[in-house]
Amino acid sequence: MIEHEQLTSGTSVLDLRVAHSESRPLANHVLILVHGLPRAMGMGRQAAGLLPELAEHLSNESGWLVATGTLSGVGSSTGTFSASKWKSDLEVIIARVSEGEPRISLAGFGFGGALALNAAAHDDRIRGVATFASPANLGVWCGNAEDFHRSVQVAGVVGDPEELLDADALRTDVMSIDPLGSIAQIPPRRLLIGHGSDDMEVPVGDARVLLNGAEGRAELRIIQGAGHQLRADPRMVATLLGWLDRHR
């Protein structure tokens, strides 16, 4: 069963979907799925499109409550992308699902994984983080500031052009998320780093850089033959379910 609600985050209205297992509920465990930042034409509307279905499947199989929200500018959520705005959006989602003081974990895809690491570094309520296809060096991932600025516009995660930061400020803001600085602060809390061996957008070497940033205190899973889009890969789903089962 999946429920839909809307949350207010500053001037943005976010869509939140929360999946509950009716067959094997597991009290006090919450997983939040965090989508990535689309870079292709028009993909802002679809960036989180598969996550509600994934949330429902994970909830039914694990018994966890699984939440997924669309951050500013994505899907039907209003607002405009910036790293700081998405960080605030995620804080709002965490606050919403933290009622009753559950054990909270995050699973992020692409840039969403970097965002999840940053959130956990600043919030002790988060007991574990799983990243999938997430970049270790956001400067390299962004590339040229003007090109990155253009890709954000092309992807369609800009609700109001006047709210979009200029190119240099947008890139600098993204780099402030600092995946390596964040992941170093998370152990001994649980960490899972998943990556496709054939990822053409974020090299598989980034997974090993993240592992080193955690001083080896993380589970590393390289999914052979997989590319960047891991959300629908059944091996990724099995890996995440296994991690949740060990994380009870």
In the block, which residue shows the tokens 């090109």? 147
Give 123-155 pLDDT, tens digit per residue: 999 999 999 999 999 999 999 999 999 999 999
The whole-number pLDDT of residue 45 equals: 67
Q: Worst-scoring range by mean pLDDT, 111-120, 146-155, 225-234?
A: 225-234
Does the pLDDT at position 157 exceed 70?
A: yes
| Half-sphere exposure for 117 (CA within 13 Å, toward CB) | 32
| Half-sphere exposure for 77 (CA within 13 Å, toward CB) | 36
d(CA 248, CA 243): 9
Does the pLDDT at position 189 exceed 70?
A: yes
Does the pLDDT at position 55 exceed 90?
A: yes
- Are the CB atoms for 177 and 136 separated by under 8 Å? no
- Determine if the peptide bond prior to 135 is cis (ω within 30°): no
CATH 3.40.50.1820 fits 2-246, yes or no: yes
pTM greater than 0.85: yes
Give 69-112 pLDDT, tens digit per residue: 999 999 889 999 999 999 999 999 999 998 877 889 999 999 99
Distances from the Cα of 130 to the Cα of 15, 41, 134, angstroms: 22, 27, 10
- Are the CB atoms for 213 and 207 separated by under 8 Å? no
Residue-averaged pLDDT of the chain: 91
The whole-number pLDDT of residue 159 equals: 87
The whole-number pLDDT of residue 206 equals: 97
